[in-house]
Amino acid sequence: MISPFRILTKDPQSKARTGLLYTKHGFVQTPVFMPVATQATVKALTSQDLSDVGAQCLLSNTYHLYLRPGTKTLKKLGGLHKFMRWGGSILTDSGGFQVYSLSQLRKITEEGVLFRSHHDGSKHLFTPENVIEFENEIGSDIWTMLDVCIHAKDPAKRDAREALEQTKRWAVRAAAQYQKTVPQQNITQNEDGSFAVGNSLLFGIIQGAVFPDLRKEAALHMASLPTHGYCIGGLSLGETMEQMNESVLAVTENLPEGKPRYFMGLGTPVEILNCVERGVDMFDCVWPTRVARNGMVMTDEGRMNIKNACFRLDERPLDENCDCFTCRNYSRAYLCHLFRSGELTSHRLLSIHNIRFLTRTMERIRAAIENGSFKSFKEEFIRKYQ
């Protein structure tokens, strides 16, 4: 299956690369950080804020949108882009991770996963087929397949094997359902190498916990199915950095080069750099906005907490190198005051800064790969940040 992904530059010293992923809402420059719009919004931010900080693609959650407002409701309202007034791309996760982490009484059968809503306890069934239908109703640009994610820090290999086998069987069914739902993908390559994309794309999810042999097997299986790209799921759940790096490498070494790879739920700058080095192109995480609401600010020199008394008379911006709305307009003293007074504006202003910090970091990563200095950029970044 043709993937509307163009690799622009490859780093000669690592597996890092820059590229363009085309969707029905334009293109996404990779490596990319995708802010998380769980409930059709990135907490405390408007879609205008997100455009202003350079967000290209948002991640939204099928599980949450299915339960509220309901994917049928979203379809009636013209889809998620129109609903939340977002003109860029949207990727939806399959809901698998939320079913395993949020809902009660989940039961996995061959057919799918039966679970109770975390809102009202009502019963629901997700199958590989109906999740594709829900994503179609949402109207997102990139759809992902239902998977079995073991939500454990240190899973037994037997459990990881079982989850992987189920994920593989469901992936075959999801790919078939995608073909039924989107028989014409309308992907054409123009003379200048760009793509025109008329429909939603499909990404498969690679599981296998922290076992490199299972990861390799999962990657090879997914590579044999018709998809436009790949998600790496079931990591960043408390494993060591070494386990994560090994698992990622076992995946990227066994995938076709010309399709994008997305690490689900990873968003600290150092982890992103490690994964970019190993050939990952896309990232998302709630972490930068979650910590922003607790007063945590990311800068080139590491993290700081704006609530600290030392900022009460500090007239500098959060980060002298940052071009975001918050840094261009407000002092640390003002933001410290807003936080200490419990003012909600502080959540918005710090979220704007933290997301801009990550989108700017990705811009710098792309520039470093393009001018052949990724390795030295990474070392210098980590030296200052830690």
Residue with Cβ nearer Zn ion (174 or 292) = 292
Concerning whether 284 is annotated as a catalytic residue, the answer is yes
**According to the binding rule CB under 5 A, does residue 306 interact with Zn ion?**
no
Residue with Cβ nearer Zn ion (103 or 346) = 346
User: In whole angstroms, what is the distance from residue 261 CA to residue 251 CA?
Assistant: 9
In angstroms, what CA-CA distances link 179 with 93, 175, 226, 270, 364? 18, 6, 9, 38, 38
Here the tokens at position 351 are 């979220």
Query: Which of these segments, 16-24, 65-73, 113-121, 350-358, binds Zn ion (CB under 5 A)?
Result: 350-358
Q: In 10 A of CB 359, how many CB atoms?
A: 20
Q: Which of 105, 133, 97, 152 is nearest to 286 (CA)?
A: 97
The sign of the CA dihedral 290, 292, 298, 302 is negative
Place of tokens 């090879």: 220
Angle between helices 128-138 and 157-181 (to 10 degrees): 50
Residue with Cβ nearer Zn ion (128 or 317) = 317
Largest CA distance in the chain: 62
Cis peptide before 31 (omega within 30 of 0): yes
Q: Least distance (Å) from Zn ion to the CB of residue 60? A: 25
Among 324, 349, 358, 369, the residue binding Zn ion under the rule CB under 5 A is 324
Residue with Cβ nearer Zn ion (38 or 326) = 326
Q: Least distance (Å) from Zn ion to the CB of residue 141? A: 28
Here the tokens at position 151 are 């939500």
Q: How many residues bind Zn ion (CB under 5 A)?
A: 5
Q: In 10 A of CB 87, how many CB atoms?
A: 10
User: In whole angstroms, what is the distance from residue 133 CA to residue 135 CA?
Assistant: 5
Q: Least distance (Å) from Zn ion to the CB of residue 322? A: 3
Query: Which of these segments, 30-38, 63-71, 180-188, 323-331, binds Zn ion (CB under 5 A)?
Result: 323-331
Among 261, 353, 366, 378, the residue binding Zn ion under the rule CB under 5 A is 353
E-strand spans in the chain? 5-10, 17-23, 26-30, 32-34, 57-61, 89-93, 104-108, 113-116, 123-126, 142-144, 187-189, 195-197, 201-206, 229-232, 261-263, 282-284, 296-299, 302-305
Query: Which of these segments, 70-78, 223-231, 307-315, 326-334, binds Zn ion (CB under 5 A)?
Result: 326-334
Residue with Cβ nearer Zn ion (101 or 321) = 321
Concerning whether 147 is annotated as a catalytic residue, the answer is no
Q: Least distance (Å) from Zn ion to the CB of residue 267? A: 17
**According to the binding rule CB under 5 A, does residue 322 interact with Zn ion?**
yes
Q: Least distance (Å) from Zn ion to the CB of residue 329? A: 10
Q: Least distance (Å) from Zn ion to the CB of residue 363? A: 14
Q: Which of 49, 93, 141, 147 is catalytic?
A: 93
User: In whole angstroms, what is the distance from residue 61 CA to residue 220 CA?
Assistant: 26
CA 356 to chain centre: 16
Query: Which of these segments, 55-63, 97-105, 254-262, 352-360, binds Zn ion (CB under 5 A)?
Result: 352-360
Among 327, 358, 362, 368, the residue binding Zn ion under the rule CB under 5 A is 327
User: Which amino acid is present at 167?
Assistant: T
Q: Which of 11, 49, 284, 319 is catalytic?
A: 284
Query: Which of these segments, 131-139, 308-316, 319-327, 336-344, binds Zn ion (CB under 5 A)?
Result: 319-327
Q: Least distance (Å) from Zn ion to the CB of residue 105? A: 43
Residue with Cβ nearer Zn ion (325 or 377) = 325
**According to the binding rule CB under 5 A, does residue 34 interact with Zn ion?**
no
Residue with Cβ nearer Zn ion (248 or 322) = 322
Q: Least distance (Å) from Zn ion to the CB of residue 306? A: 12
The sign of the CA dihedral 308, 312, 316, 322 is positive
User: In whole angstroms, what is the distance from residue 232 CA to residue 254 CA?
Assistant: 12
Instruction: Enumerate the active-site residues.
Output: 93, 284
Q: Which residues bind Zn ion (CB under 5 A)?
A: 322, 324, 326-327, 353
